[in-house]
């Protein structure tokens, strides 16, 4: 059978889409509104405890990478369909490259927390 | 194919760059696709948040202050709107993309959509518990 | 009946005009008249040079597809009274080059359709059958919806991806490939997958969903495409995880 990369990218895109749909709304509400605005007040110590666990950091990394691939894949198609930027190779490189770069940043941040 | 096709001279119409503005369904589609930018933004914000937590109590408080500034609140409010759009459209499209057969019968689309919302509620409750209550 | 409606019909004569222009025609607004009836009225009484395709006038041949007020429609099933008081725009089917007036060049689809091999492919070299290939009602139901396609091309007119990237193989072709893949008598899914796993195959689709909305036969090409993507992804994963075992499964080499 022919080997193509796109099916695997699409699977990651789909997984990332499910993760984003299910995890992000509550995270935005909590981390962008409830905590900064003081609607709820978990202690810094508690949050540190949650974040420092290697298991939590591993799970977070495993959730973030597919979400980044999801964003890159969708945005790449938006750029050539919506904006009609026809340099397919360049757009793909910029989008997936961006996702890879952010994944490395995630690895660094989660690894050194 | 071996058929010979007579090439007829024809007039090619070009699609305007604003093809998606004139029709509601196309506009919603492009908005749904643009939600991808906010998925990436929020992953970045999440990393910033985690880095702040890891940086000690003072850094964390400073970050919370920045996060409650008008700029951040507005950006994140827009992000929330787009992410909710992503969730709603993603859940609504899943039954069309997946045919589930249980015991020989096709599972109705409404059930698949409902199951996803149950999943959303469960995950949200878990995360709320993990972050706020535990 | 005194009421009339204005039809703004695109006219284009390659030898006479450099670009398509809309021309207004007043047409009687009869309760049971379709856009096609209006066009035939114009041709019979105003301008016999008006050219357009039609045949069955009952929504089964797929010939009379055009853009009515911006939406791809079968003109034989679109009632003028729904657009009262008018005017109603009648344009050639979107995303295809215009040959003359309302006639578009469909040769792109004619080239794409055979690429997906929309016929029963068998891996036994049987040339004479001893009776029919039997199929249960459940086996028929598995693909029946996708067999309803009348090749009217409304889905291609509605698809912005096809409009922006004519290399995209398109909704009807993929729905027809799925129709044969799901047919219990067929053994050709591997051959079709080889065509559709390419970038201009299923992956060009961004699930806008307009194709399904405009399909007059409720084929749901968008659903067929997403299912095909999942199938292609599953086959790719299987090929990587268990290459030897997988090569022994069904389908022609």
Distance from CA of B40 to the nearest CA of C (A): 19
- The C-alpha torsion from C99 through C101 and C103 to C104, rounded to 10°, is 50
A vs C, Cβ pairs < 8 A, gives 46
Phi, psi torsion values for C99, nearest 5 degrees: -90, -55
Distance from CA of B10 to the nearest CA of A (A): 23
Instruction: Print the domain residue range for A50.
Output: 6-111
Record: contact C237-A8, CB cut-off 8 A: yes
pLDDT in tens, B51-110: 999 999 999 999 999 999 999 999 999 999 999 999 999 999 999 998 888 877 788 989
Distance from CA of C153 to the nearest CA of B (A): 17
Q: What is chain A's length?
A: 113
Spatial contact of C54 and C63, defined as CB atoms under 8 Å apart:
yes
- Structure-block tokens of residue A24: 């992000």
Task: Please state, in angstroms and rounded to a whole number, the distance separating the CA atoms of residues A110 and C26.
Answer: 70
CATH 1.10.1060.10 domain locations along chain C: 107-247
pTM over 0.80: yes
Residue A1 lies in a domain: no
Record: contact A31-B86, CB cut-off 8 A: no
Chain A residue closest in CA terms to B39: A71
C197 → closest Cβ in A2, A77, A81: A2
Distance from CA of A88 to the nearest CA of B (A): 17
How is chain B split into domains, by residue range?
19-94, 98-134
pLDDT in tens, B10-28: 899 988 888 999 999 999 9
pLDDT in tens, A44-57: 999 999 999 999 99
- Distances from the Cα of C146 to the Cαs of B114, C143, C171, C177, C218, in angstroms? 27, 6, 11, 9, 9
CATH code assigned at A44 = 1.20.1300.10
What CATH class does C4-104 carry? alpha beta
Number of separate domains in chain A: 1
Task: Please state, in angstroms and rounded to a whole number, the distance separating the CA atoms of residues C12 and C19.
Answer: 6
Task: Please state, in angstroms and rounded to a whole number, the distance separating the CA atoms of residues C70 and C82.
Answer: 14
CATH 3.10.20.30 domain locations along chain C: 4-104
Tell me which residue of C177, C62, C40 sits closest to C115, measured CA to CA. C177
CATH number of B19-94: 1.20.1300.10
Residue A49 lies in a domain: yes
Place of tokens 């080997």: A3
Task: Please state, in angstroms and rounded to a whole number, the distance separating the CA atoms of residues C30 and C67.
Answer: 21
SS3 C3: coil
Please name the fold of domain C107-247. Fumarate Reductase Iron-sulfur Protein; Chain B, domain 2 (1.10.1060)
Record: contact B96-C164, CB cut-off 8 A: no
Is the minimum CB–CB distance between C206 and chain B shorter than 8 Å?
Answer: yes
Record: contact B11-C222, CB cut-off 8 A: no
pLDDT tens across the length of chain C (253 residues): 569 999 999 999 998 889 999 999 999 999 999 999 999 999 999 999 999 999 999 999 999 999 999 999 999 999 999 999 989 999 999 999 999 999 999 999 999 999 999 999 988 877 677 778 889 999 999 999 999 999 999 999 999 999 999 999 999 999 999 999 999 999 999 999 999 999 899 999 999 999 999 999 999 999 999 999 999 999 999 988 887 765 555 444 4
- Count Cβ atoms within 10 A of the Cβ of residue A43 and give its class: 0-12 exposed, 13-18 middle, 19 or more buried: exposed
A10 → closest Cβ in C190, C203, C247: C203
Task: Please state, in angstroms and rounded to a whole number, the distance separating the CA atoms of residues C65 and B14.
Answer: 19
Record: contact B93-C213, CB cut-off 8 A: no
Is the minimum CB–CB distance between C200 and chain A shorter than 8 Å?
Answer: no
Angle in degrees, CA C195, C197, C96, rounded to 5? 65
Question: Which chains, if any, share at least 3 CB pairs under 8 A with chain C?
Answer: A, B
């Amino acid at each position: 059978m022919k080997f193509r990369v796109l099916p695997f990218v699409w699977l990651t895109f789909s997984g990332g889409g499910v993760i984003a749909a299910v995890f992000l709304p509550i995270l935005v509400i909590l981390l962008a509104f409830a905590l900064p605005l003081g609607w709820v007040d978990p202690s810094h110590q508690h949050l540190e405890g949650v974040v420092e666990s290697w298991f939590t950091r591993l799970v977070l990394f495993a959730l973030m990478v597919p979400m980044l691939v999801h964003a890159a894949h969708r945005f790449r198609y938006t750029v050539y369909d919506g904006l009609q930027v026809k340099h397919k190779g360049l757009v793909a490189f910029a989008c997936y490259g961006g996702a890879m770069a952010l994944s490395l940043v995630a690895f660094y941040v989660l690894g050194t927390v | 194919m071996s058929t010979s096709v007579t090439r007829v001279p024809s007039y090619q119409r070009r699609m305007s760059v604003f093809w998606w503005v004139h029709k509601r369904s196309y506009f919603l589609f492009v908005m749904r696709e643009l939600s991808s930018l906010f998925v990436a933004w929020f992953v970045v914000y999440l990393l910033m948040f985690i880095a702040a937590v890891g940086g000690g109590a003072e850094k964390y408080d400073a970050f919370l202050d920045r996060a409650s500034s008008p700029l951040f609140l507005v950006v994140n409010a827009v992000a929330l709107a787009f992410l909710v759009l992503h969730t709603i459209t993603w859940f609504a499209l899943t039954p069309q993309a997946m045919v589930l057969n249980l015991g020989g019968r096709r599972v109705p689309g409404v059930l698949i959509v409902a199951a996803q919302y149950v999943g959303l509620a469960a995950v949200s409750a878990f995360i709320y518990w993990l972050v706020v209550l535990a | 009946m005194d009421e009339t409606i204005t039809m703004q019909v695109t006219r284009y004569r390659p030898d006479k005009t450099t670009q398509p222009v809309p021309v207004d025609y007043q047409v009687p607004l009869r309760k049971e008249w379709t856009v096609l009836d209006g066009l035939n009225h114009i041709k019979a009484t105003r301008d016999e040079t008006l050219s357009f395709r039609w045949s069955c006038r009952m929504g089964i041949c797929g010939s009379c597809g055009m853009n009515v007020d911006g939406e791809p429609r079968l003109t034989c099933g679109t009632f003028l009274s729904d657009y009262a008081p008018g005017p109603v725009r009648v344009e050639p089917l979107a995303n295809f080059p215009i040959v003359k007036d309302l006639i578009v060049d469909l040769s792109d689809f004619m080239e794409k359709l055979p690429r997906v091999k929309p016929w029963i492919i068998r891996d036994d070299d049987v040339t004479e059958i001893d009776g029919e290939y039997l199929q249960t009602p459940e086996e028929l139901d598995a693909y029946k919806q996708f067999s309803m396609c009348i090749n009217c091309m409304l889905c291609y007119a509605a698809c912005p991806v096809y409009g922006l990237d004519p290399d995209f193989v398109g909704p009807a072709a993929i729905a027809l490939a799925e129709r044969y893949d799901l047919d219990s008598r067929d053994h050709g899914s591997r051959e079709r997958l080889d065509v559709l796993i390419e970038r201009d195959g299923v992956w060009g689709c961004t699930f806008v969903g307009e194709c399904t909305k405009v399909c007059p036969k409720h084929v749901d090409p968008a659903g067929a495409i997403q299912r095909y993507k999942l199938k292609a992804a599953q086959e790719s994963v299987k090929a990587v995880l268990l290459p030897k075992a997988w090569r022994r499964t069904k389908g022609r080499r």
